[in-house]
Amino acid sequence: MAHRSTVYAPHGMAATSQPLATAAALGVLERGGNAIDAVVTAAAVLNVVEPQMTGIGGDMFAIVWSAKDHRLYGLNASGRAGSLMTRAALLARGHQTMPEETVEDVTVPGALSGWDALLKRFGTITLAQALAPAIRYADEGFPVTPIIAREWADETEKLKKDDGARATFLVDGARAPHAGEWFRNPDLARTLRLIADQGPGALYGGELGRRVVDRVRALGGYLTLDDLTAHRPEWVEPISAPFRGYRVWELPPNGQGVAALEMLRILEPYDLKSLGHNTAAYLHLLIETKKVAYADIARYVGEPAEMTTPVAALLGDAFVAQRRAQIDPARAADRPAPGKAATASETIYLTVADSAGNMVSFINSLYDLFGSGVVVPGTGFALHDRGAGFTLEPGLPNTAAPGKRPFHTIIPAFVTRPDSAGVDQPWMSFGVMGGSMQPQGHVQVLLNLLVFGMDLQEAIDAPRFRHLDHRRVALEPAIGDDVRRALQALGHEIADERGVAFGGAQAIIRLPRGYAGGSDPRKDGMAAGH
């Protein structure tokens, strides 16, 4: 990776995946707004400038450190399956597994409700004020950045399949915009103005919602207007695990944050530093740890009301020891079985911190690039396909059913550490976007910082692995041939890394005075402060 320096600033910091979003967040902070105001403003701008990843057609989650309350708050703004989405209906259409990238996967989009909930509880500006920069960029246009342009172009054929997507996101209905080319989305500007005037109710039961439901139903989807009207975001208690004197926080299910915590708990007793950074022995241990943790979330995690195994059991000493014992230091496993537990979540990630000490870890996603590929004509935004996260296997917490929230890959994270009096203090707000890469990425970045002592940007830049399935693992090119051969000797199959996404991290560390920020060179974004 081309080296960047860690960014330091005295008053506030923003790290996002697109420079215009970072600039919009800083503008809010410099005008006296707080981190919550800035994070929603940046999220709305990303809806315009990184439309393949995010927007009001998707879901969002956040962890907020409130300086006033000196505590963390969690927000789950993911939507539920439509009341017509039954396992029987999906099977009757010939599906043996959940369909992918289709209108059948469209669940209630929860992101807008989350933006509104954050501002109402912690913000100092209105939703209309937060939307204003996004409306301006949608109306006046902006030059498309290179990585976004490349991903956009890769989805050309998908966008051509839907009338609304083709008209909205393809130049002359034929191609994606090139890097540096100006792009406008006047339909999205009109939609955001409607929301600024009417509030989120425009989508959740109002005029915009009716248009969404009518189009989804016409194409064969399962949403009703009552599903949108009934939607509510949920404030939740973050979950955590200790690691090397710090405490790592994730959100509880229906997301996969518990996998990152289980991985850290399994790895805690190992002398990781002696193994050496990104050696074959080190990578083997992390890959095998990932496999057992993911086997557990596939079996036990889903809609919280349907889970018979609580998170505390998955992170308990006895269960973690049992899972640690399944790891063979000399051989790669194929498909580990889930542990025997006692009964009792494509994406943008951004983070903002302000001069008062508030910090927000925020993630918003459409699931796949441009989500379902469906754009209701005239609305300017893609609808996500988060329903693809369900399973059709019967009897699991994540089996498709009406009104159930699907398993989510998108996970914001936070790290605290105790002060001399033993009171947790905020240390880092961070995330690593990229589907199933996210827990793997969280763990790799954290180990770079807490075990190997890298500075923040070095920890983000360092080459990563991504376990794919079975024994297949992809390695970034900087990991050398000697390591690849040693992993193959342990039974790993090294996949072609071309086309594999290794995640995009953004992070802010609180210093004794001011902040440090880092932004992933695998994305177009930047960290900047004031």
Residue 519 structure tokens: 């932004």
Q: 306 CB contacts (<8 Å, ≥6 apart)?
A: 396, 397, 398, 399, 404
DSSP 367: S
* Burial class of 277 by CB neighbour count within 10 A (0 to 12, 13 to 18, 19+): middle
d(CA 47, CA 177): 16
* Burial class of 399 by CB neighbour count within 10 A (0 to 12, 13 to 18, 19+): middle
DSSP annotation string for 93-151: TT-SS---SSGGG-----HHHHHHHHHHHH-SS-HHHHHHHHHHHHHH-EEPPHHHHHH
Q: 314 CB contacts (<8 Å, ≥6 apart)?
A: 258, 262, 296, 300, 339, 341
* Identity of residue 106: V
DSSP annotation string for 140-187: H-EEPPHHHHHHHHHTHHHHHTSHHHHHHHSBTTTBPPPTT-EE--HH
User: In DSSP terms, which residues pair with 116 in a beta bridge?
Assistant: none
Backbone torsions φ then ψ of 480, nearest 5 degrees: -75, 170
d(CA 413, CA 345): 13
Three-state DSSP at 201 gives helix
d(CA 111, CA 392): 25
**Helices (H), strands (E): how many in the chain?**
19, 21
SS3 percent helix, strand, coil of the chain, rounded to 5, is 40, 20, 40
492 within 8 A of 287, measured Cβ to Cβ: yes
Q: 456 CB contacts (<8 Å, ≥6 apart)?
A: 6, 449, 507, 509, 516, 517, 518
Residue 31 structure tokens: 């005008």
379 is catalytic: no
B/e letters for 344-361, b = 16+ CB within 10 Å, e = fewer, are ebbbbbbbbbbbebbbbb
Instruction: Give the CB-side neighbour count of residue 39, counting CA atoms within 13 A.
Output: 38
Q: Of the residues 102, 347, 351, 391, which is catalytic?
A: 347
Measured N-to-C along each axis, helices 280-300 and 437-450 cross at an angle, to the nearest 10 degrees, of 140
Query: Which residues are catalytic, by number?
Result: 347
